[in-house]
Every structure is written in structure tokens, then in C-alpha cells.
Structure 1
Amino acid sequence: MALKATILPVTPFQQNCTLLWCDETMAGALVDAGGDVDRLLQAVEKTGVRLEKLLVTHGHLDHAGGVAEIQERLGLPVEGPHADDAFLIEGMADQALRFGFPEGRSFVPDRWLVQGDKVSLGALTLEVLHCPGHTPGHVVFFEPTARVAQVGDVLFRGSIGRTDFPRGDHATLLASIHDRLLPLGDDVTIIPGHGPLSTLGEERRTNPYLEHGA
């Protein structure tokens, strides 16, 4: 069995919604279904993946704006983020108004996640890392066999997440990266919330926002 993934950019912010699935069972999950719901579901149908759940790294509109609609249409459970992002999810309509998006809808996750939780995906198990800073309830999903981490807006190629949003904190974000992400290992591929893939080793060595060699 192996983890498979395809990236489906959504919204004007070109957010990397990711379809993850187990190739043995074809059970899958959309991570951060931020919008463009019809296009996402058509893409899933073409792969033959059976959607099992929706996973959410954090409560910003471009990452979670389509969750309520898919949850309603398909009856799928939602897992994540950490409950500290509840205020963002509850304020989804306000976020949509502020950024000029179509109507945003809030939702209630079936399972709030905390550090050390496990998320099943077919025959696979994803590890949950609570990585606050960009938002207080941001989580990362790590699959240890494939060595892949879905990092949302914590870390990007050559950059890190913004911390000027409500309850963001720069020092907390850097601590999350150094204490919880980098120890996973240099070989881990990261799928960020925006932009191209990278590895933790590449970011540890070259990212100007991190202390090189830390």
C-alpha cells in the first residue's frame, strides 16, 4: 500500500487543495477544500477515489471555504483543525465578505484534532502535529511511510506563513517549525498550502526565514 496525492489549486488565492488516497483501498480525503467545489468533485471522480472524509489544516477561507458544501452534499465527516481555530470557522461568512468571495459557510468538524492524534485513510495512518503560529489551531498531517507532510500555511518553499492575521504569532510559528516539523527529517516532502513542493531539508538549508543549520 502507498500514499498517493494530487494537488488541485482552488480559489483566486491558488490554494493547494490536495487529494490524498490509499492506493490499496482507493479511500481518500480532500485536504483543505477551500472552494471551487464542483471542480474538486469532478477531479475526484476522474481518479476513481472514494472520498472517505475531509481534512482541514486551519480555518482560513481559502482552505476551508468549500468544506460545508461538500459536507452537506456528500455527508462526509470533517476532521481538523485544532479547536483553537473555531473562531475562524464560525466567522467564515465575515471572511468571505472581507475578501470578496462568494458566501462563506461555517461548519462544525466531526473531530477537532490535537497534537499526537492519528487520522485513518484507508489502510494508511496520518500523524497529526499541532503547529500554531499562522493560526492558533493550525495542524499538519504527516504520513511516515511515504515521508510526506501536508503543512498548510506553516511553511512554504523559501518562506513561512503570515502571522499578521487575528491570533497569529511569529515566534510561535517559528517554534512550531523548529520543534515539530524539522525533526521529522530532511527527506520529508512538504505539500504547502500555496506554491510548489519542497523538502524539509531544502527549507532548513535555504529558507531565509529559518536559522540555517538549526
Structure 2
Amino acid sequence: MLVLGFPVGPLQANCYVLARAEGGPCVVVDPGQDAVEPLAEQLVKHRLTPAAVLLTHGHFDHVLSAASICAEHDAPVHVHPTDRFMLSDPGAALGPAGRQLFGDGITAEEPAEVREIAGGDVLELAGLSFDVTHSPGHTGGSVLFGVGTEEGGRLLLSGDTLFAGAIGRTDLPGGDHGQMLHSLSTKVLPLDDETVVLPGHGPTTTIGRERAGNPFLQELPASDAH
């Protein structure tokens, strides 16, 4: 299994490419701001062709290049319906502070083919099987993508729900801190310690490492953590 990850844009959001092997179809996860050129370099280097784009949530730093990539490769985008509106109106989710910081100049368009996803879905794409888990908190439509490796391990594409040593912010429109804690308690903590986490920002980690050292997980009530 081939897993590539690289940060894109001013906010250094992680874009991922997953494939069974070089020289075949792949899945692109969270192609955010300024992702087109670095993604193209990886596709050429590894002889890959995107079969689909997956979005962990709708914030512009994770989705802004999706329409261009989908159009170039005639690929659909998969997103939770709650966050779909951000594909064509990225400023709607920034709030006053975000608009002041990034301005109203961020524009986007919805990809030609949008497939709405829900928790419990299983997506068979490019020879890989992705489990979809709805994890609201950072946004109302945040999701986790789980995928198995040929070696028997598990990967979790956590978006901005879980980072190494931190969790996603919940103070933007659509965010809800109570929902975030519930998602972490019921969707993240039950996962095996060996699960490798590929987060939306920052370095790779594991569920076991976060369970032991992430202060936001340790603060969860004991009854919620089991």
C-alpha cells in the first residue's frame, strides 16, 4: 500500500494520496489551498491517477483545490452533506475573525460530481475500502476515514478532529465543543492503540500515543472514555 502525505497552503493542511501500489488508481484526501501543483508532482512521480477525492470536512484549507483536481481527472468528490455548502462558499464557515484574517477573496466552486457520504458508509475506491465515521465537533460534517493496510494495520484519516497532542478548534461556525468531546469519546478512543493517525495538520501519530499523552483526551470523563 502506498501512502503519501504533504502539507499545502498557508495553513499547512495535510493532503494525502493513498493507493494499492504505484502505477494505478489512487484516492486523494483533503486537497486544500495550493494543492494542485504538489499533487501533480506526486502523481507523475508514482504514476497515479485519482479515482476519487475524499474530504474530511469543508474548510477551505482542506478543499480549495478539489474542484480543479476533480475536473482534470473526471473524479467525484465525497463529502458529508452538512459541509457541502462550503465547497462553493468557503467564507461562510470562517466567521467574522476568519473573514478579517483571510478576507473575502477566497472563492471556490463545487466539483461537477458530488457524492454525499454518511457515517457507516463503506467506500470501495481504487482497490481500497474506506470506512466513514461521522465525527461532528470541528464542523457539523466532519468525518473520519478508516482504511486497512495489506499488512493488517489500520490507518485513520482524522482531518481536524484529532491531531498529535491536540484536537481541532470548535469556535468557528458549525463547531460545537460538546459534540467534539462526544466524538472523541465514542468514535476515537474505542479504536485500537496501534491505529496510525494521519491528521489534517501536523505529524502522524497513533491512537495509543494520543490516549496516553494528549491532554484533551485525558480530560474526558472516565465514563466517556470506555
TM-score by length of 2: 0.86
Runs of 4+ aligned residues of structure 1 deviating over 6 Å after TM superposition are none
Other-structure match for 2:131: 127
The 3 A distance-change label for structure 1 pair 102 and 48 is: farther
Q: Establish whether residue 159 from structure 1 lines up as the match of residue 158 from structure 2.
A: no
Alpha-carbon shift at residue 102 of structure 1 (Å): 6.4
Other-structure match for 1:68: 67
Q: Establish whether residue 48 from structure 1 lines up as the match of residue 55 from structure 2.
A: no
In structure 2, C-alpha distance between the alignment counterparts of 1:20 and 1:123, rounded to whole Å: 10
Alpha-carbon shift at residue 50 of structure 1 (Å): 2.0
Other-structure match for 1:57: 56
Between the two proteins, what is the percent identity of the paired residues? 38
Other-structure match for 1:12: 10
After superposition, residues 199-214 of structure 1 pair within 5 angstroms as 199-211=206-218, 214=225
Aligned residues of 1:92 and 1:106 also touching (Cα < 8 A): no
Cα displacement string for residues 97-116 of structure 1 (whole angstroms, at most 9, x for unaligned residues): 93159642131552111011
Q: Could you say what secondary structure the match of 2:116 adopts?
A: coil
In structure 2, C-alpha distance between the alignment counterparts of 1:41 and 1:102, rounded to whole Å: 25
Q: Could you say what secondary structure the match of 2:193 adopts?
A: coil
Aligned residues of 1:25 and 1:122 also touching (Cα < 8 A): no
Other-structure match for 1:104: 107
In structure 2, C-alpha distance between the alignment counterparts of 1:126 and 1:25, rounded to whole Å: 20
**Greater Cα offset, 194-203 or 30-39:** 30-39
Cα displacement string for residues 167-203 of structure 1 (whole angstroms, at most 9, x for unaligned residues): 1011111111110122121110000000001001111
In structure 2, C-alpha distance between the alignment counterparts of 1:26 and 1:158, rounded to whole Å: 35
In structure 2, C-alpha distance between the alignment counterparts of 1:140 and 1:83, rounded to whole Å: 14
Cα displacement string for residues 77-130 of structure 1 (whole angstroms, at most 9, x for unaligned residues): 1112x1111232231266699315964213155211101101123222110011
Aligned residues of 2:165 and 2:215 also touching (Cα < 8 A): yes
**Greater Cα offset, 68-77 or 21-30:** 21-30
Other-structure match for 2:82: 84
In structure 1, C-alpha distance between the alignment counterparts of 2:41 and 2:104, rounded to whole Å: 21
Amino acid at match of 2:144: V
Aligned residues of 1:132 and 1:176 also touching (Cα < 8 A): yes
In structure 2, C-alpha distance between the alignment counterparts of 1:190 and 1:20, rounded to whole Å: 14
Q: Unaligned regions of 5+ residues in structure 2, if any?
A: none
Other-structure match for 1:21: 19
> RMSD value over aligned CA atoms?
2.1
Aligned residues of 1:133 and 1:163 also touching (Cα < 8 A): yes
Aligned residues of 2:67 and 2:109 also touching (Cα < 8 A): yes
After superposition, residues 183-194 of structure 1 pair within 5 angstroms as 183-194=190-201
In structure 2, C-alpha distance between the alignment counterparts of 1:152 and 1:164, rounded to whole Å: 16
In structure 1, C-alpha distance between the alignment counterparts of 2:10 and 2:28, rounded to whole Å: 18
Amino acid at match of 2:56: T
Amino acid at match of 1:167: G
The 3 A distance-change label for structure 1 pair 92 and 46 is: same
